[in-house]
Structure 1
Amino acid sequence: MPWKHWSAERLGLALAVLAALGFSFKAIFVKLAYAVPQPVAVDAVTLLALRMAFSLPFFAWMGWRAHRAAGGAGLDRRSLVWVVALGLLGYYGASILDFLGLQYISASLERLILFTYPLLTILIGVFFFGKRLGWPEGAALLLSYAGIGLAFAHDLHLTADMRTVLLGSALVLGSALSYAFYQAGSEPAIARLGAMRFSALALLVSTFATLAHFAATQPLAALQQPLPVYGHALGMAVFSTVLPVLMTSAAIRHIGAGRTALVGSLGPVMTIFFSAWLLGEALSWWQLGGAALVLSGVLLIGISRQRTTSRPAAAAQPAKPPHLAAHR
């Protein structure tokens, strides 16, 4: 293999690993912000508003680039409806449910539940778009939800309040479902607008919806937080949103979308170990077994899709890049 090709592959793999590391840190930043000592802990809406506000300059720059690339053309009514609806589902609705869920369950369990959104996307395709459920998808579902069951039992063992674990798990599962609907519904929008333009507009819709939610439900004084809260929100915006998005895009250019997605499967395992190291969360064989099952399910789907897209008929079509994954 020529040196330049080998070097590009190594660079792509390194970028994919760094992106997975950045995304896996989101739950850690949220938990650290909730734990900052103060009379009343920062609420989910305020923390999400800070994250999106810090990310807004990047989203605006991306939207401007996409607008210029499209020749300054505006959106027709149908495209506008799709962008607004999917932006609200994918980044606003999913993120707010995720942040609320992290108030009740461990970061490790949150990451495992959230990581099932590719499987939920497949189920949505089966129930709403007439797609078929093959044996790899069925096996992946069984593996992943068996893994979540193990991780759920671990959290339940550590607390006497079953309602807390149930509520947090339900909120995060709602987050994964919301993002799965975004994934399933975004394909026609991407076909009309292009991946970059659609993702930029959806992120901007989500940002303004989040800020409007904050303005409608929280006093302006809620933005007065201790410096560590601002630091964690800024870290979330830069290291768990903006940089991973850029690194994921660069990794896809070097090693393709399929391999980048498979490397991203490292995220839940990273979150489990960082949760134990930085947050002091208990690490058990139940969690590790649950993580192994969830990862096996997601990898089974990834390998199955990679084999499908490697066929000659599919190879002629350009690979659809994953969306910017700010929710992750």
Structure 2
Amino acid sequence: MTDRTKYLIGAFLIFGAAFGFALKGIFIKSAYQYGIDSISLLSLRFLFSAPFYLFIILRKRYKEESHPIFAKRRWLYVAFIGFIGYYVSAYVNFLGLEYISASLERILLFIYPTFVLLINAFLIKRKVSRLQWVALLITYAGIFVAFMKHFEVHQQKNIALGAFLVILSGFTYSFYLVGSEKLVNKLGITRFTSWAMLAALVPTLIHSFFYNRLAIFQFPAQVYVIALSMAIFSTVLPTFMFSAGIKRIGSGNASIIASIGPIFTIILATLFLQEPIWLEQIVGTILVLTGVFLVSWKGKK
């Protein structure tokens, strides 16, 4: 296989993963129309996803390290990272979508690379270049432009709360990315993601038990079709496609190609949810993507 063919396959995989992730908000908003709550929908998503990740883990068995204490600490850390990155981040994201549109959610969520940059700057003391600071300003200016139009039209209640929850989701997910860097090198992207996903299933089911005694199988049949579709097409397949794409073209190129995600969501939300598109939203999205592109590109240089 030539390098060009390898790159094209990798780019196609990342492109497909971005499309799959973009579908998530569409699935969630569609399921909400049938009266399901956030934690029940999240529980169904993880339950339907779990068999696929368990299969990957069993398929990729590996030898444990000879130091059991270190191994136990490592698995506890994996569980904690999964708790933060998938349970906490996903739950507040699902909650936020109760108040804001799918297209705005995707724009807000997509600023997580800027959070990664800031966490690395203030906690790990990595130097931030002048261009990256400019990129941050461009990104947040884009958020402001895209966000203010929603206040003007007064079409969504509690939009500030929804936006805060989605931004919080991106913030917690950025801690997951920073904290998982060393673990990914030891376990591999696919294996680590599988363990983290399964770790997030436990607190999700516990939360659902205290909220509704796990009464998650009493909704209309359409809910389970949507939840299964979200598990396959917006969780499992994009995860594995993204991992395979990174192996072929690298994380820097992958992050740049994946930046088309918010565009996908805006188009899909218009087609399937009849969400309006405004000029301010388009301008804001372009600014956000430009800022995120500069952050990702400069960070990989």
Indicate which of 31, 46, 49 corresponds to 2:43.
49
| 2:28 partner letter | V
Structure 1 residues 250 and 76: alpha-carbon distance in aligned structure 2, compared to 1, 3 A threshold: closer
Shift in Å, 1:10: 2.3
SS in 1 for 2:260: helix
**Residue range with higher mean Cα deviation, 218-227 or 106-115:** 218-227
SS in 2 for 1:280: coil
Residue deviations 1:141-193 (CA, integer Å, cap 9, x gap) = 1111111111211221232666x011000111110111011111222333454
Indicate which of 191, 208, 211 corresponds to 2:205.
211
SS in 2 for 1:129: coil
Query: With CA pairs under 8 Å and 6+ residues apart, which has the higher RCO, 1 or 2?
Result: 2
Query: Which residue is 1:9 aligned to?
Result: 7
TM-score under structure 2 normalisation?
0.93
TM-score under structure 1 normalisation?
0.86
Shift in Å, 1:222: 3.6
d(CA) in 2 for partners of 1:243, 1:193: 19
1:201 aligns with 2:199: no
Query: Which residue is 1:113 aligned to?
Result: 108
Indicate which of 63, 77, 80 corresponds to 1:70.
63
Shift in Å, 1:11: 2.1
Structure 1 residues 13 and 80: alpha-carbon distance in aligned structure 2, compared to 1, 3 A threshold: closer
Determine if contact 1:63/1:201 at 8 Å carries over to the other structure.
yes
1:296 aligns with 2:294: no
Query: Which residue is 2:255 aligned to?
Result: 261
1:271 aligns with 2:265: yes
Query: Which residue is 2:133 aligned to?
Result: 138
d(CA) in 1 for partners of 2:191, 2:11: 26
- The alignment's C-alpha RMSD in Å is 1.9
Query: Which residue is 1:31 aligned to?
Result: 29
Structure 2 unmatched runs, 5+ = none
SS in 2 for 1:221: coil
| 1:131 partner letter | R
Query: Which residue is 2:86 aligned to?
Result: 91
5 Å-filtered alignment, 1:212-291, equals: 212-291=206-285
| 2:100 partner letter | I
> May I ask how many residue pairs the two structures share in their alignment?
299
Structure 1 unmatched runs, 5+ = 309-328
